[in-house]
Structure 1
């Protein structure tokens, strides 16, 4: 299994903190291995990233709320998410891995729901070894509908287009597309069919986008100027259905990930106003993730 770079252990304070009530729409908890065994066939394993380390990052950035997302590393066994939610406290909620629908019973799903899980992440990338069959996918969508959860989509490396046959017919549940649909920064928003397709999906009303992974979508590298027009096009397409996630601890990083303050400051360059920033970090994720009036 390949070695990947760990997160920066010294999160700096950004140029300004996140607004009060900000929500990190995606981070992961990983390890330690002796406590949370990696599932057989997992595509990757990362250096340990604990709730305590996450708290340090969030404290530096100004976050007290967020969504811990189950990785394919653990598949249907959500012990790491359940333990993290118990340790992190009431400001935090969870997102399951879709394998849980095929491998676990309704009692387990209700256990996740009671712990604060409100969505499930789907991957159609065969390399990750966590893809449901089409019949299992249809059953999972039905259960999401019954539970009142949202669907979360991890795009292919080549972009969101390859996932369309799975998701384009879904109209009655929220669907969150991760990582700006893995747009092609070399093409830019005007020429990239991924951005055009994602913008069309956003126009339907039930699709959302996470403005994350700018550091990997970028082909120019820091300070990632080539992703700013892409993010801006997506915000303009659906200003009330954009959220932001740190993707900490930055799984499958083949070079040292940036300091997390750099990524928050990249979001600051996407937006045009404080009102827009608050919408992306507070209002939109509060609605999608079911926070209601929680502070």
Structure 2
């Protein structure tokens, strides 16, 4: 079981001011392990990154809202995420990981706790494609709850899943990290062309234009990811989201600086109206912020 590097402890102050009610639509809380243990079958062990660290980062960067995404290292025990949402007093929403054992009461408890979506990992290093019978049963429950699903995919999964999964979904679905396409393969690579077509043609499809450090081939400031983010924003400006991905689990290249990531976002989304949608309007609509 591998360990993860800690996040950059000294985020720079962003060069620009966030709009009011800006939302970090993809972030995590990890532990602390002595209170919220990690899953025994996890594929990695992160350094603790508790609620207090996330809150301090958001205050420093200028985020007034956030979406805390359950990560695989905590498995289906969503307690740490639910605790963080409660402590945020309306500042946060959540994305849970659930399995086939959750019942209607459990789903309603998550909803009351601020959860508005479930997440499924298809990424190979996190275990690959889930049990698809379980996936579709959970999708029926997600539809009944009025939630959506977040899909963590590898680039080639966009090709493999386009017909038997993505085209069949009846709930809104969000693709994480620009589909984890590889910048070195260019804008014309098949997975990215299919992702753009999906965003153009399917009104249920959303995408997070974050994860530049995962798309990039180089080191920060990860400018080779800019063209991919710009293309997706131009294609579907009402169905794009952005987040820090703090505290950046499983980064094997160059650990990003969160202030630098905000500056990168301002470079690939310089238009104030589009940025208002990206950071405020879109997440408020999808995650039911009052």
Query: Is the shorter-chain TM-score for this pair beyond 0.5, marking a shared fold?
Result: yes
Q: Which residue of 2 aligns with 1:183?
A: 181
- Equivalences for residues 142-153 of structure 1 within 5 A: 142-153=140-151
What's the CA shift string for 1:224-276, capped at 9, x where partnerless? 22111111111111111111011000011225522101011111111141111
Asked if 1:278 corresponds to 2:252, the answer is no
Could you tell which deviates more after superposition, 235-244 or 222-231?
A: 222-231
Give the TM-score taking structure 2 as reference length: 0.94
Partner of 2:17: 17
Give CA deviations for 1:117-162 in whole Å, capped at 9, x if unaligned.
Answer: 0001111235424753221111111001000001100012656324
For structure 1, the residue ranges without an aligned partner over 5 or more in a row are none
Q: Distance in 2 between matches of 1:103 and 1:40?
A: 18
CA distance in 2, matches of 1:38, 1:18: 33
Q: How far apart are the structure 2 equivalents of 1:174 and 1:48?
A: 31
Match of 1:110 among 92, 108, 111: 108
Residue 230 of structure 2 corresponds to 232
1:167 aligned to 154, 165, 168, which one? Answer: 165
1:40 deviates by 2.1
Unaligned runs of 5+ in 2: none
- Asked if the contact 2:124–2:154 (Cα under 8 Å) also holds between the matched residues in 1, the reply is no
Say whether 1:6 aligns with 2:6: yes
Distance of aligned partners of 1:256 and 1:49 in 2 relative to their CA distance in 1, 3 Å threshold: farther
Instruction: State the secondary structure of the residue aligned to 1:118.
Output: strand
Aligned to 2:66: 66
1:257 corresponds, among 255, 258, 277, to 255
- Counterpart in the other structure of 1:90: 90
Higher mean C-alpha displacement, 251-260 vs 227-236: 251-260
Structure 2 Cα separation of the partners of residues 46 and 34 of structure 1: 13
SS of 2:207's partner is strand
SS of 1:152's equivalent? Answer: strand
Query: Structure 1 residues 94, 205: CA separation in 2 closer, same or farther (over 3 Å shift)?
Result: same
Provide the aligned length of Structure 1 versus Structure 2.
289
Instruction: Give the corresponding residue for 1:124.
Output: 122
- What SS does the aligned partner of 2:278 have? helix
Contact 1:42–1:129 (CA<8 Å) still a contact in 2? Answer: no
Residues 99-131 of structure 1: per-residue CA shift (max 9 Å, x gap): x23132221111100011000111123542475
- What is the TM-score with the length of structure 1 in the denominator? 0.93
Structure 1 181/130 Cα, relative in aligned 2: closer, same or farther at 3 Å?
Answer: closer
